[in-house]
Structure 1
Amino acid sequence: MLADGARQRGHAFEAQALVGLSGGLCPLEDLCLHDAGMDVRSPTRDIARAAAMFDERRRLAQREPAEVLSESALRLRLGIEGFPDPDRPDKATTMSGTAKGGTAPWDRIDLGEDDDDQTGKDELDLADEDGLGNPAFAEIDALLVRTRKKLDAWNDLSSDEGRKSLTLRDPGYDAAGRFEGWLNIREEGRGLPAALSAALALDAWLWLEPSERAGELGFAFSATVLRQRGLAAAHLPAIGLGLRRGKFRWSPHQVLGVRVAGLLGAFAEAAAFGQSDLDRLSLARTVMLRRCEKRRGNSKLAELVDLFVSSPLVTVQLAAARLKVTPQAVEAMLKDLGGSLPRELTGRKRYRAWGIM
Structure 2
Amino acid sequence: MTYEIGKLLLESLLPAMARAEDQLARLDEIVRRSPAGEGFVERGHFFDAAASMWVAGELVHIEDLVLHDARMDVRAPTHELTIAHAILRSRRRIAGVEPSWAFSEAGLAALAGSAAIEPDRDFASPDPVGQVDLDSADERDDDPLAREFAHIDAVITRSQRVLEHLAEGVIPKPPERSLLAVGDLVIRDPDWDERERMAEWRNVLKATEEFPPVLSAALLFDAWETLEPLQRQHGLGGQLVAAHLRARGKVMSHLPTFHVGLKAVPRERRRAHGRTARLQAFLDAMSAAAEAGFKEIARLSHAREQMERKARGRRSSSSLPAAIELILSRPIVSAATVAKAAGVTPRGALNLIADLGIREATGRGRYRAWGVI
Structure 1 pair 70–42 and aligned structure 2 pair: CA distance change class (3 A): same
The normalised TM-score by structure 2 is 0.66
Encode CA deviations 1:220-261: one digit per residue, 9 max, x unaligned: 000000000111111111111101122364556522221111
Matches within 5 A, 1:166-245: 167-245=186-264
Matches within 5 A, 1:206-285: 206-247=225-266, 249=268, 254-285=273-304
Question: Aligned partners of 1:154 and 1:313: how far apart in 2?
Answer: 43
Structure 1 pair 2–213 and aligned structure 2 pair: CA distance change class (3 A): same
Tell me if 1:14 matches 2:24: no
Tell me if 1:63 matches 2:97: yes
Shift of 1:295: 4.4
Q: Does the 8 A contact of 1:83 with 1:176 survive in 2?
A: no
> What RMSD, in angstroms, separates the aligned Cα atoms of the two structures?
3.1
- Report the equivalent of 2:87: 53
3-state DSSP of counterpart to 2:107: helix
Tell me if 1:341 matches 2:358: yes
- Report the equivalent of 2:159: none
Shift of 1:275: 1.4
Structure 1 pair 213–250 and aligned structure 2 pair: CA distance change class (3 A): farther
- Report the equivalent of 1:104: none
Letter in 2 for 1:237: P
Tell me if 1:36 matches 2:52: no
Matches within 5 A, 1:132-147: none
- Report the equivalent of 1:308: 327
- Report the equivalent of 1:120: none
Question: Aligned partners of 1:183 and 1:265: how far apart in 2?
Answer: 24
Encode CA deviations 1:63-100: one digit per residue, 9 max, x unaligned: 2221111134324533225459xxxxxxxxxxxxxxxx
Q: 2:116 aligns with which of 71, 75, 80?
A: 80
Letter in 2 for 1:308: I
Structure 1 pair 46–348 and aligned structure 2 pair: CA distance change class (3 A): farther
Letter in 2 for 1:33: L
Structure 1 pair 51–298 and aligned structure 2 pair: CA distance change class (3 A): closer
Tell me if 1:355 matches 2:344: no
Q: Does the 8 A contact of 2:94 with 2:101 survive in 1?
A: no
Letter in 2 for 1:156: A
Structure 1 pair 176–293 and aligned structure 2 pair: CA distance change class (3 A): closer
3-state DSSP of counterpart to 1:177: helix
- Report the equivalent of 1:156: 181
Share of identical aligned residues, percent?
Answer: 35
Structure 1 residues not aligned, in runs of 5+ = 85-152, 158-162
3-state DSSP of counterpart to 1:191: coil
Shift of 1:285: 2.1
Shift of 1:23: 1.6
Question: Aligned partners of 1:13 and 1:238: how far apart in 2?
Answer: 8
Range moving further from structure 2, 282-291 or 75-84: 75-84
Structure 1 pair 252–292 and aligned structure 2 pair: CA distance change class (3 A): closer
Shift of 1:276: 0.8
Structure 1 pair 303–35 and aligned structure 2 pair: CA distance change class (3 A): closer
Q: Does the 8 A contact of 2:109 with 2:117 survive in 1?
A: yes
Encode CA deviations 1:324-354: one digit per residue, 9 max, x unaligned: 66666544333323xx23426695669x654
Q: Does the 8 A contact of 1:21 with 1:244 survive in 2?
A: yes
Q: Does the 8 A contact of 1:155 with 1:167 survive in 2?
A: no
The normalised TM-score by structure 1 is 0.68
Q: Does the 8 A contact of 2:118 with 2:199 survive in 1?
A: no
Q: Does the 8 A contact of 1:308 with 1:355 survive in 2?
A: yes
3-state DSSP of counterpart to 2:63: helix
Q: Does the 8 A contact of 1:29 with 1:345 survive in 2?
A: no
